[in-house]
Amino acid sequence: MKIKNKSIILKDLGVVDYKECWDFQEELFKNVVNVKIKNRREALNKPTSNYLLFVEHPHVYTLGKSGDMSNLLISETELIKKDAKFYKINRGGDITYHGPGQIVGYPILDLDNFFTDIHKYLRFLEEVIILTLNDYDLKASRNPGKTGVWLDVNTPFARKICAMGVRASRWVTMHGFALNANVDLSYFDCIIPCGITNNSVTSLNKEIGVEFVDVIELKKKIKNNFSKLFEAKINW
């Protein structure tokens, strides 16, 4: 019987270039997958590790596997002027923006330690953010047929506050969520976020009427809600 490791190692990486962080994700991801492969081949029962990475990225646009390049609305020259990079990556979803003031979370979990249901996993990620926003007295929710976490769904004022896109192989996850905390929203004007037209994007500081949200406190709230939902011990 597999040993289920429900401890999660949390690493707060600070500000890291997107490609550098992607490579780090891939390294952790492959290490976990390799343990699972060795366990199966050699009939071992070595526990697999779980990680949650917090990071902020310099300005960058990323396009998922099913994304459409036409959703990037500026040229390479304009990208350079905005001091922004662009990458095609191996998560699901379309185009999104990462940048300063955005809390990005990359859970690298062996779902065999929790539950083997990718749809449930995505719903849990959304619920972590919904609960966190509730801590700020914001009523957030899912938007049927669309990914991420939203405010004022089913109204003309629907706006997205958190984007999501994941990859999973052998029940090991990578990529994750991007919660706008203190973001310069003008950078979203350069894309059709997640390929969805006629929907706006917002940031937590704007919604609660403050100049700057305390990101340390915000990360603590995310960690606590993540721990409760996944019934996991998170070691920071």
Gap between the Cα atoms of 215 and 220, Å rounded: 9
Gap between the Cα atoms of 169 and 26, Å rounded: 12
Phi then psi for 102, rounded to 5 degrees?
-110, 130
Gap between the Cα atoms of 236 and 25, Å rounded: 17
- 235 Cβ contact list (under 8 Å, min separation 6): 7, 8, 9, 10
Of the candidates 218, 189, 188, 192, which has an alpha carbon nearest to the alpha carbon of residue 204?
A: 218
Q: Is 194 a catalytic residue?
A: yes
- Which DSSP string do the residues of 1-55 spell out, in sequence order? ------EEEEEEEEE--HHHHHHHHHHHHHHHHHHHHHHHHHT--PPPP-EEEEE
Tell me how far the alpha carbon of residue 146 is from its chain's centroid.
15
Q: Which residue has the tokens 């919604």?
A: 207
**The one catalytic residue among 21, 162, 190, 194:** 194
Of the candidates 70, 98, 21, 106, which has an alpha carbon nearest to the alpha carbon of residue 191?
A: 70
Structure tokens at 23: 């490579």
- Tell me which residues are annotated as active site: 194
